């Protein structure tokens, strides 16, 4: 299928937080005239990224065709609706974490529980920093790359850019993305990039996808950027701001038939922080006091540890 047709389908049906991530480099596609599944392959397993970019009415046919051709597959960061569909195909469904989101029209920054957001904004301004939305005509992508490189250097466990479940940073203008920068006297000290979320051909909201910063960035800059961006999105009539996923947070596995090994591993990774500070990620996102929604992983293996390790390799985590 021509990439332009895929973009058209994305703008029509890409209403979930990772929809734009299905355009990232290196993915493969299982396509029909109505939409597509995006996936990556590692050691014979096909890892499907999120929900189908297609009308919900064609999901059963599209997924059924895919599984007949590729039965050895794993579906990652899917919605509850997709989980219900995959149960009928013999998958175990485990909660993979919690997604945080804000409904822009009704969201307020008032009250003691959101004082830290207001304080971060005031502190940033008092210290002489400012926030600006920039594009290729007004920003130096070289400077942004330097910020990203210094950020990674302070984290020796990060040896490469994450991918798949976390779309790699692109230092260039992209279709409908929004890129906000924190600027100080010496230039860029931090940035946050937002991916679009679509419905019926229109951008209805954004996902906070990428964040990098220098040690000189003001404390709480990301709260200040989120407030700045949300206020702008509100004026534009946008509906949703997804704050992104908190992996392994709030995992209960009480609704669907789950794989017990996956449940055990999820809780272990959340409490031990071997790969990332997952508890810190969840605490940060929960402080916005937004809405939450579970997301899931669907596997067929009785002992799926190898499959989960392969998923970590697909995500460039290992």
pLDDT tens digits, one per residue of 25-78:
999 999 999 999 999 999 989 999 999 999 999 999 999 999 999 999 999 999
**Domain spanning 101-243: which superfamily?**
Gcn5-related N-acetyltransferase (GNAT) (3.40.630.30)
Question: Helices (H), strands (E): how many in the chain?
Answer: 9, 11
Instruction: Assess whether pLDDT exceeds 70 at residue 20.
Output: yes
| Band (309; pLDDT cuts 50, 70, 90) | confident
Quote the CA–CA distance of 18 and 4 in Å, as a whole number. 19
Tell me which H or E stretch contains 279: helix 278-286
pLDDT score for 273: 74
CA-derived radius of gyration, the chain: 20
pLDDT tens digits, one per residue of 229-270:
999 999 999 999 999 999 999 999 999 999 999 999 899 989
Q: What is the mean pLDDT of the chain?
A: 94
Q: Show the beta-strand stretches assigned E in the chain.
A: 28-31, 36-42, 45-49, 73-78, 92-103, 130-133, 178-184, 187-199, 202-213, 240-247, 291-299
The full set of domain ranges for the chain reads: 3-98+245-283+293-314, 101-243
As a whole number, mean pLDDT of residues 8-12 equals 97
Instruction: Assess whether pLDDT exceeds 80 at residue 304.
Output: no
Q: Which residue has the higher pLDDT, 223 or 318?
A: 223
% of the chain with per-residue pLDDT over 90: 85
| Band (317; pLDDT cuts 50, 70, 90) | confident
Instruction: Assess whether pLDDT exceeds 90 at residue 145.
Output: yes
pLDDT score for 2: 66
| Band (162; pLDDT cuts 50, 70, 90) | confident
242: helix, strand or coil: strand
% of the chain with per-residue pLDDT over 70: 98
As a whole number, mean pLDDT of residues 157-164 equals 80
Instruction: Assess whether pLDDT exceeds 90 at residue 188.
Output: yes
pTM for the structure as a whole: 0.95
pLDDT score for 1: 61
Residue 82's contacts (CB-CB under 8 Å, 6 or more residues apart) are 51, 52, 59, 75, 296, 298
Residue 315's contacts (CB-CB under 8 Å, 6 or more residues apart) are 162, 163, 164, 165, 166
pLDDT tens digits, one per residue of 202-214:
999 999 999 999 9
pLDDT score for 208: 97
As a whole number, mean pLDDT of residues 127-141 equals 97
Longest dimension (CA), the chain: 60
Instruction: Assess whether pLDDT exceeds 70 at residue 143.
Output: yes
Contact criterion met (CB below 8 Å) for 206 and 242? yes
């Amino acid at each position: 299928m021509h990439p332009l047709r895929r973009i058209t389908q994305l703008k029509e049906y890409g209403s979930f937080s990772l929809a734009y991530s299905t355009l990232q480099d290196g993915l493969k596609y299982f396509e029909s005239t109505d939409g597509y599944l995006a996936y990556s392959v590692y050691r014979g397993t096909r890892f499907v990224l999120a929900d189908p970019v297609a009308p919900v009415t064609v999901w059963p046919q599209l997924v059924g065709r895919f599984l007949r051709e590729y039965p050895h597959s794993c579906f990652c960061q899917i919605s509850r609706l997709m989980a219900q569909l995959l149960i009928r195909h013999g998958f175990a469904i485990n909660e993979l974490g919690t997604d945080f989101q804000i409904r822009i029209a009704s969201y307020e920054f008032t009250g003691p529980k959101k004082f830290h957001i207001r304080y971060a904004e005031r502190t940033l301004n008092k210290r002489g920093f400012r926030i600006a939305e920039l594009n290729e005509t007004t920003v130096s992508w070289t400077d942004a790359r330097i910020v990203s490189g210094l950020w990674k250097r302070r984290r020796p466990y990060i040896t490469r850019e994450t991918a798949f479940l976390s779309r790699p940073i692109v230092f260039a203008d992209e279709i409908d993305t929004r890129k906000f920068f924190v600027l100080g006297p010496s230039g860029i000290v931090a940035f946050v990039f937002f991916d679009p979320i679509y419905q019926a051909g229109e951008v209805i909201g954004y996902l906070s996808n990428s964040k990098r910063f220098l040690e000189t960035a003001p404390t709480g800059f990301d709260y200040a950027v989120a407030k700045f961006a949300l206020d702008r999105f509100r004026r534009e009539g946008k509906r949703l701001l997804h704050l992104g996923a908190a992996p392994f947070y709030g995992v209960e596995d009480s609704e669907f038939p789950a794989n017990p090994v996956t449940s055990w591993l999820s809780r272990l990774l959340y409490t031990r922080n071997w790969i990332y500070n997952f508890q810190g990620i969840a605490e940060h996102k929960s402080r916005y006091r937004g809405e939450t929604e579970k997301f899931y992983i669907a596997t067929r293996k009785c002992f799926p540890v190898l499959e989960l390790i392969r998923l970590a390799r697909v995500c460039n985590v290992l």
